[in-house]
Chains A and B, each alone.
Chain A
């Protein structure tokens, strides 16, 4: 097991390298360098540009130097936790990102748990009672969830809440907590508002998981080892839970792993609609304003978090599947 984890950790190195390069490309994407954009913006707003400061900035980000030098400057700062400045906000990117990123991850994680809890019983039921009304209903609702864009669900739920319950949903905190520092009370307030984004973000993932679980379980139910266990005299219910469900859990776990990026993507769109104080809205405005160090920092960190997520799910996978462990 330790060897497995070690090997898996080794493969992270090239992955992280490529991720950082892609993020750097994103930063460099907009035409012109960000510094001249910055200067132009300052000039437009009538602020005088301090030549000395400009030179310092130029040196700091290795402007005008070849790309790979710029990359190395940037990455060596990033490794030390310095993601550069956001010129929109005039703040270090790190300060702006931190909390939002954590909230995004937290919401995505809750959605993951939500979709597991919902998908597991429904998937098993659908497979065991194949071709029953319940199975058809689950399949249909699953397809519906799969086919509905997150923001549509968000809009419809918000609309329903507003029209029929007079609730104004949106945001993650009640007004009195929006600007408050973190405290237990603020956390519980957040939990109260969390259900809506979690349901919205979790829906399409739930649909996928139900389908994956159902299909795999149907496969497993026909395997020879099920017949063997029946021939031993194991009770049908116990048998289903102990063998095929256990086997179907393996693809379930691996699907859940590569679903993380999807969840985060979904969370970002949902956050824009619900105006949550998470990654989505800020990244969007950063991209539109070409505030590239902010955007690049977001993308880099999101990708790194995803890689860690997949790593964790791989370890989980090895735990549920001895064939991987002993490979």
Chain B
């Protein structure tokens, strides 16, 4: 259907840039909008992890091994109160089974406060402070997600693990993006023998089961490497195998764009090949690339989680969601402390939010489709 310069709104539509059109159609994708917000909140809490988390991720709370999650209450004996509080956890060691049993002591409650002084930390290695987002009054503990087998607060560790896991997604995708753009772009633009060779390579890489290959490469990383070195090696390994999809999208887009008239126009006017690629091709498919990247990030996280879960990815003391889930590998442990699966819930939420977001981007990337 053709449009007309009639109302202001339509005028706006007619003269809107491609980005404005994309934004317009993206906003209509409500699920994607919501997921975008969820992702935003998750990244914010990752950036300010030490502030959001009430404790130090490695700190062991004595006497609180496998403590169950505490419920936050608003009402108690004194009736409803706006100030949330948690009840005291008491524990005793069962001398027959050597299991620690926990009970909630509703007589003693600890109110929760925002912006309290807690264990000191250095934010981003720069600012020394002891202000935490929330905490209990003196003497109390708050374990929103319970504790692990060493008495460490799981909520704290999930938040800190998020920093590592979510950044792996970004860094890994960045590497893949570089590889994918390079190979896909070259493949689509030059075509012919080059294209053929690169396509073959991609095909072979895709026919490899990824997990075993990843496992093999990561298991070969020397055990004495520093955590940061392992971190980058793992992301690099993930993206070495994971760039093919991005390359495929890039190639497809380049192929379809390279025959468009404006490229021909640029070439006839004597523009160099490089300028054609950089100035004309890349901007016009960037929206598709963004969508593909958004859909690639969750793949990275899933891979990292799987590797760490198997014990060949990141290694403790580094905290990532996968490393946290490693403690849940045994079903008997899970039966005893089901809250150890909570990091998995975060993986699911994160991956799902990214999938919805990527879907929304992909639909919006073609504002002229409808």
Contact = CB atoms under 8 A, between A and B. Distances in A.
Do A and B interact? yes
B163 interface: no
A288 interface: yes
A184 interface: no
Nearest to A204: B302
A268 interface: yes
A151 B348 CA distance: 12
Given A147-B298, A288-B311, A31 B208 contact: no
A155 B322 CA distance: 14
A295 to B, nearest CB: 6
Interface of A is mostly: helix
B210 interface: yes
Interface string A294-327: 0100110011001100100000000000000000
B241 to A, nearest CB: 10
A159 B207 contact: no
Given A144-B348, A159-B335, A288 B212 contact: no
Main secondary structure of the interface of B (DSSP, over half): helix
Contacts of A268: 209, 211-212
Interface string A157-200: 01100110000001000000000000000000000000000000
Contact of B344 (A155, A162, A287, A306): A155
B206 interface: yes
B331 A155 contact: yes
A269 B211 contact: yes
Interface in B216-242: 216-217, 219-220, 222
B347 A149 contact: yes
Contacts of B351: 146-148
Interface residues of A, number: 50
A22 interface: yes
Interface string A279-297: 1000110011010000100
Interface of A: 11, 14-15, 18-19, 22, 26, 29-31, 143-144, 146-152, 155-156, 158-159, 162-163, 170, 258, 261-262, 264-266, 268-269, 272-273, 279, 283-284, 287-288, 290, 295, 298-299, 302-303, 306-307, 310
Interface of B: 200-201, 203-204, 206-213, 215-217, 219-220, 222, 298, 302, 305-306, 309-312, 325, 328-329, 331, 334-335, 338, 341, 344, 347-349, 351-352, 355-356
17 contacts: A26-B213, A26-B216, A147-B348, A151-B306, A152-B341, A155-B328, A155-B344, A159-B341, A258-B206, A261-B210, A269-B306, A283-B215, A284-B312, A287-B220, A288-B219, A299-B213, A306-B209
